[in-house]
Structure 1
Amino acid sequence: MSHHDPHAPYTLYKMDISYFSGKLEAYLRNKGIAYTTATGDAAALDMLYARTGVKKVPALHSADDLWLFDTTPTIRWLEQRYPDNPATPPDPAQAFLATLIEDYADEWLWRPAMWWRWEPLASRRALGRRIADEVRPPGIPRPLMAWFFPHRQRRTWLWGDGMDQSNAAAVRDLYLQELDFLQAVLAERAYLLGDQPSLADYGYFASMFRHFGNDPDPAEIMRRRAPAVYEWLARMWNAPRTQASTPRWLAADGPHWAALWTRICGDYLPYLSQNAAAWAAGKKRFNARGASLSFNGTLTHHYRVWCLQVLRRAWRELDAEARAQITAQLAPYGGLAALDSGADVDAGLDALYTLPKPPGQHKAGWRITLLGQPRN
């Protein structure tokens, strides 16, 4: 494929402990897209900001000098450019559900992934030292960086983002609930939606591979509690050798799926809707209220306003038959009221995430230079 492809080989800038780096690299491997890797160290991150205006990994640089970043729009573009071994099911209703699961796994599992990496002391110290070695700017002492990065992550994504003593245990246990769901499904099928990886698999792979499957405490829990999930991680990484020649797509429905759809309909979509309303009202924080989880004083996230906007757009582009099918499937779990109602809010990020882009000339301010961007 690559010798006929003006874009390949790509250079993937990544960190091997990065949530989203693992997701994108698994996709490239499974699709058979030619690429080489480069470590997202401090110098690389500075270069990435200068070229893209975004100081984080993963980022993908094509052979013809185009840039892609953020896994969701990057994979969307790659799916169109490389249609073989599709990650998007051909049925429109199933494709939407796969997209919804991917978004949920990207954005909702971030918080428990941060809990299991940065709350256990042994993990916090080990991962803090490792990240310090990879991203420490020149002149910053290693012990200071090893302390600062975990402190920033805990402050930004946990204790400073609506987690408190009343819900910290529930955040921790979100991981266990996801393991139980995945174990039940993956004990019966190779991948979440059938015989080959889908967008739903890649969404889950991000946290399950680089965080839960590799960090000491959650990895041991996974091996004991959900061995089918542990096996699925290896299968995802080795998918070119394990995919079916004629893929069979299976429904995301049945008794095993009830817990997941209940979380998405009852907690995640209401959170997205409330976040967008808070952003439109100019609020920096809001009290998120879900069916099973609430977060007082959670940060208003601009990016997740765009997540809701993209999901709404995809929902409204479906034909009436597909929408009716999805509505009937999800009605027992709370339905899509939070997705399909309320004022539309334009995040203003469509232009930023319309990919690929030619190299730019961006100059970082002092805050980005010193502190970086916490969404890594």
Structure 2
Amino acid sequence: MSEQTYRILGGLGSPYSMKMRAILRYRRLPHVWVQLNDRNAYEIANVKPAVIPIIRFPDGILRNDSTPMIFELERLHPGLRSVVPDDEAQAFLAFLLEDMADEWGTKMMFHYRWFRERDQKQMSSWLAFDRLAGQGVGSISRHAANFSERQVGRMALVGCTPANQPLIEETAHRVLALLEAHVTEERYLFGSRPSLADFSWMGQLSQLAVDPTPADMMRETAPYTFRWLAQLDDASGVEGEWRDPQAPLSPAVKGLLKMAGEVYFPFLLANEAALKRGEQSFSFKALGMSYEQATFKYQVKCLNELRSRFAMLSAGARARLDPVLRDAGCLGVLSVN
């Protein structure tokens, strides 16, 4: 393997793995894809937390957490088919929408995968097949049963409960409706080339396109988005331009920002407030529906990063963004020091 080659240890069932593989493909960075299994798991034995994808960079360092990896790749390969828009304001919006996909979109993925028995059965079997790599049907079945039990047992921890089902599924329907209207008119969220926001939503929705129940839903209600995901999985041949910074934002971007203001930011604020009070769980209401889950420190880090990046924007970028973010219900949250 070339010294300049990236080694991705990931899985087809991991939205973040699919996200990072698609970015490396689009940016035409030399890489090899390694399906993580029992035979090669030793390669990541010392990585904590061992959350995939784990990428061995050409310098030999193993990294994970997709967003920091995206920006490290931007630093290492400046100007090479960047996934960050050139315009400062668009770059911030792309980061915001990427963050929402990673932290709220993943609830859609986890919910649809483990909420219904039909999906539990198929996906636990497929994921076991990926992991065991030829150890026999009996071993696959046993591993699948154990893995399914563990994942279903984690659903309450991450907020994928029957009580939260209405809000999670409503937001999934809204995202798909926004994208379905968008992809037949425009290629990507910020122009004719994909951004980190496109890739992050692609990663999460790539799993809905595979799991039985949401795949049926997507084929019926969002067939062009279904196909768009497959195209974005390998966009190495795409040539395009960023959207004119003076042009109005697309309805899809405006709609996703509105969902951030109505759902994602209230989620982040409720989690932040509960952690400050030392509480183990939190609840909030959005779109007329209730939601409750355990508190997480990582989401506070996400909120602080959004605020920090917003605070660093130039006066010109703020002048353009403030009205948009105010209309979406996001400005007050981001303006907190």
**Counterpart of 2:178?**
181
TM-score by length of 2: 0.89
Q: Is the 8 A contact 2:28 2:236 kept in 1?
A: yes
How far apart, CA to CA, are the structure 1 residues paired with 2:44 and 2:144?
Answer: 22
**Counterpart of 2:94?**
98
Q: Does 1:127 align with 2:152?
A: no
Q: Does 1:328 align with 2:326?
A: no
Q: Name the structure, 1 or 2, with higher relative contact order (CA <8 Å, separation 6+).
A: 1
Classify 1:28/1:312 alpha carbon distance in 2 versus 1 (closer, same or farther; 3 Å): same
RMSD between aligned residues: 2.5
Structure 2: gaps (5+ residues): none
How far apart, CA to CA, are the structure 2 residues paired with 1:160 and 1:63?
Answer: 36
TM-score by length of 1: 0.81
> Of 188, 209, 215, which residue of structure 2 is paired with 1:219?
215
Aligned-pair identity (%): 27
- 1:298-323 deviation digits (Å, cap 9, x = unpaired): 11112212111211111111112212
> Of 26, 32, 40, which residue of structure 1 is paired with 2:28?
32
Q: Does 1:85 align with 2:73?
A: no
How far apart, CA to CA, are the structure 1 residues paired with 2:126 and 2:298?
Answer: 28
Q: Is the 8 A contact 2:275 2:295 kept in 1?
A: yes
**Counterpart of 1:66?**
61
Q: Which residues in structure 2 correspond to 1:257-276 (within 5 Å)?
A: 257-276=253-272
- 1:155-174 deviation digits (Å, cap 9, x = unpaired): 32x33444544442332232
Classify 1:310/1:335 alpha carbon distance in 2 versus 1 (closer, same or farther; 3 Å): closer
Q: Is the 8 A contact 1:45 1:56 kept in 2?
A: no
Q: Is the 8 A contact 1:114 1:154 kept in 2?
A: no
> Of 301, 307, 310, which residue of structure 1 is paired with 2:302?
307
> Of 77, 90, 107, which residue of structure 2 is paired with 1:111?
107
How far apart, CA to CA, are the structure 1 residues paired with 2:123 and 2:251?
Answer: 37
Classify 1:170/1:289 alpha carbon distance in 2 versus 1 (closer, same or farther; 3 Å): closer
Structure 1: gaps (5+ residues): 345-376
Quote how far apart the aligned CAs of 1:291 are: 4.9
**Counterpart of 1:148?**
146
**Counterpart of 1:363?**
none
Quote how far apart the aligned CAs of 1:151 are: 2.9
Name whichever of 220-229 and 9-18 sits farther off: 220-229
Q: Does 1:249 align with 2:243?
A: yes
> Of 195, 208, 214, which residue of structure 1 is paired with 2:205?
208
**Counterpart of 1:234?**
230
Amino acid at match of 2:167: A
Classify 1:254/1:12 alpha carbon distance in 2 versus 1 (closer, same or farther; 3 Å): closer
Q: Is the 8 A contact 1:46 1:55 kept in 2?
A: no
Report the 3-state secondary structure (helix = DSSP H, G, I; strand = E; otherwise coil) of the residue aligned with 2:153.
Answer: helix
Q: Is the 8 A contact 1:163 1:295 kept in 2?
A: no
Quote how far apart the aligned CAs of 1:261 are: 1.8
Aligned length: 331
Quote how far apart the aligned CAs of 1:44 are: 3.9
How far apart, CA to CA, are the structure 2 residues paired with 1:282 and 1:136?
Answer: 41
Report the 3-state secondary structure (helix = DSSP H, G, I; strand = E; otherwise coil) of the residue aligned with 2:55.
Answer: strand
Report the 3-state secondary structure (helix = DSSP H, G, I; strand = E; otherwise coil) of the residue aligned with 2:236.
Answer: helix
Name whichever of 19-28 and 325-334 sits farther off: 325-334
**Counterpart of 1:360?**
none
Quote how far apart the aligned CAs of 1:126 are: 1.2
Quote how far apart the aligned CAs of 1:188 are: 0.9
- 1:121-161 deviation digits (Å, cap 9, x = unpaired): 222101112222344699x96444312322332332x3344
